[in-house]
Amino acid sequence: MGHSHFIFITQNFKNFVHGIDILTKADYFSLGNLTESYTKVASFVARFEEYRPFIIERLWKVKLRHWDIDIRQLTAKSLAMMTLIDPQYVTKNILQVLTNRCTHKDILIRHGAILGVAEIILSLANLSDGENLAGISSLIVNIVGIVHAVEKGRLYRGRGGENIRIAISRLIECISVAKLPLQVKLQVSE
């Protein structure tokens, strides 16, 4: 089989777009580690536009409310990397929904949403010096208000409350590092 023939064949792998590229990255060994497959391999595959929407959708719709807390944390990390790849898509489609879910009555959804929002805004801030944050100032008010809203809903208490407290701490950390504008009243209450 000559070289030109080989190129001809590989170009015709139309059914599975970028199949060979993905195969070389997502192999037996790299997938053996959960963290690696959620971060490195996933962000590699998400570089291909054909797969990106499905990957982001599966992450925030399904995996962010997984019953295993490790999976939720990894998903938040993974979403942060997706934000670096495609900030437009994430801010447009996800951030609003996740912010609303931060006071959801289901603890799994609530916890995942808080973690997700925290990691996403940190990525947005790191990306191009916060230019992306400027466009969503109204949403940012809501995000900053999450801390207060969760407290108001007495969601730090009861079963799983300690996980929520950890997640909110992470959110506060991310808000601070991202230098989101705070009102004086909020600054004092925190």
CB of residue 167 to other proteins, shortest distance in Å: 18
Q: Are 168 and 115 in contact (CB under 8 A)?
A: no
The dihedral built from the CA positions of residue 52, 54, 57 and 63, taken in this order, carries a sign that is negative
Exposed, middle or buried, 162 (CB in 10 Å: 0-12/13-18/19+)?
exposed
Q: In the complex with other proteins, which residue's Cβ is closer, 65 or 170?
A: 65
Residue 8 within binding range of other proteins, rule CB under 8 A:
yes
Positions in 99-128 near other proteins (CB under 8 A): 108
Lookup: tokens for 64 = 């962010």
Q: Are 56 and 90 in contact (CB under 8 A)?
A: yes
From the list 7, 47, 61, 137, which residue makes contact with other proteins (rule: CB under 8 A)?
A: 61
CB of residue 78 to other proteins, shortest distance in Å: 8
Residue 26 within binding range of other proteins, rule CB under 8 A:
yes
Residue 23 within binding range of other proteins, rule CB under 8 A:
yes
- Residues 33 and 36: their CA atoms lie apart, in Å, by 5
Whose tokens are 């959801």? That residue is: 104
Among 13-21, 128-136, 137-145, 156-164, which window interacts with other proteins (CB under 8 A)? 13-21
Q: What is the DSSP string of 147-161?
A: HHHHHHTTTTSSTTH
Residue 158 within binding range of other proteins, rule CB under 8 A:
no
CB of residue 87 to other proteins, shortest distance in Å: 21
Whose tokens are 């536009």? That residue is: 49
Q: Applying CB under 8 A, which residues contact other proteins?
A: 5, 8-9, 12-16, 19-20, 22-23, 26-28, 31-32, 34, 37-38, 41-42, 45, 51, 54-55, 58-59, 61-63, 65-68, 71, 75, 108
